[in-house]
Chains A and B, each alone.
Chain A
């Protein structure tokens, strides 16, 4: 258990489905992040939230919709995805402006779009 919990661990969805990924942390962090890890590509930052406010959207297609209802929870809503969206989606959290400067990652959700 890393302190950042992601559910589900695995998800298979069709291109017309709507699903959501969940991330939860109880480390007292106030910044949360979504990363995408595709095969043979570097980790790509998708979204950044500081104190529940989105501070960065790294040109992510609108079929990915993040939600951060509070500092402990982060969601990634998925709809009408494409096969190339299949990847490992990683959530991370950290302190903002101080703290131990540690970024803690979850174990990820392995998404397969069919």
Chain B
């Protein structure tokens, strides 16, 4: 089975500062990796995904993530955050399309002025 660990439950950061949200995964087979964002009272929106190829993946809203197979990590980064980035961020892993996503517990990003 595949699983995901998000190491930080909350990350406070000042506006325009860089941020990194950490995600480690565990799997005995090749996986696909995803980052989703959830704004209050909304569903999940896909930020980016890694399927294969280049290990640096760029997503929406200026976010990017790097797949590191040796460290089994898929950390999410943004060089300069905005107040509007305040939300819950979920890392997820899947064995293949058609298989369900397994989610981490989420990281709450709080951006303050």
Contact A42 B103 (CB under 8 A): yes
Contact B32 A48 (CB under 8 A): no
Contacts of A50 in B (CB 8 A): 98
Which residue on B lies nearest to A10, using beta carbons? Answer: B41
For the complex, what is the distance from the CA of A33 to the CA of B46, rounded to whole Å?
16
Please report whether the interface of chain B is mostly helix, strand, loop or mixed according to DSSP. Answer: loop
Given the interface pairs A90-B44, A105-B44, the reply to whether A97 lies near B97 with Cβ below 8 Å is: yes
Contact A48 B100 (CB under 8 A): yes
A102 interfacial contact with B, CB 8 Å: yes
B53 interfacial contact with A, CB 8 Å: no
Contact A97 B96 (CB under 8 A): yes
Contact B43 A94 (CB under 8 A): no
Q: What sequence of 0s and 1s flags, for each residue 89-111 of chain B, a beta carbon within 8 Å of any chain A beta carbon?
A: 01000101111111111100000
Interface of B toward A, CB cutoff 8 Å: 32, 34, 36, 41-46, 49, 51, 90, 94, 96-106
Contacts of B36 in A (CB 8 A): 105
**Cβ < 8 Å to B, chain A residues 71-114:** 90, 92, 94-99, 101-108, 110
Of the listed residues A45, A95, A103, the one surrounded by the most CB atoms of chain B closer than 10 A to its CB is A103
Contacts of B96 in A (CB 8 A): 97
Q: Which of B34, B46, B90, B97 contacts A95 (CB 8 A)?
A: B97
Q: Which of B41, B42, B101, B106 contacts A103 (CB 8 A)?
A: B101
- Chain A interface size band reads 20 to 34
Contact B43 A2 (CB under 8 A): yes
A21 interfacial contact with B, CB 8 Å: no
For the complex, what is the distance from the CA of A82 to the CA of B44, rounded to whole Å?
25
Interface of A toward B, CB cutoff 8 Å: 2, 4, 6, 30-31, 33, 41-43, 45, 48, 50, 56, 90, 92, 94-99, 101-108, 110
Contacts of A110 in B (CB 8 A): 41
For the complex, what is the distance from the CA of A50 to the CA of B97, rounded to whole Å?
10
Which residue on B lies nearest to A104, using beta carbons? Answer: B46
Contact A90 B106 (CB under 8 A): no
Q: Which of A90, A96, A107 contacts B98 (CB 8 A)?
A: A96
Q: A31-B98, A101-B32 are in contact. List 10 more A-B contacts (CB 8 A).
A: A2-B43, A33-B101, A41-B105, A42-B103, A95-B97, A97-B96, A101-B51, A102-B46, A103-B101, A108-B43
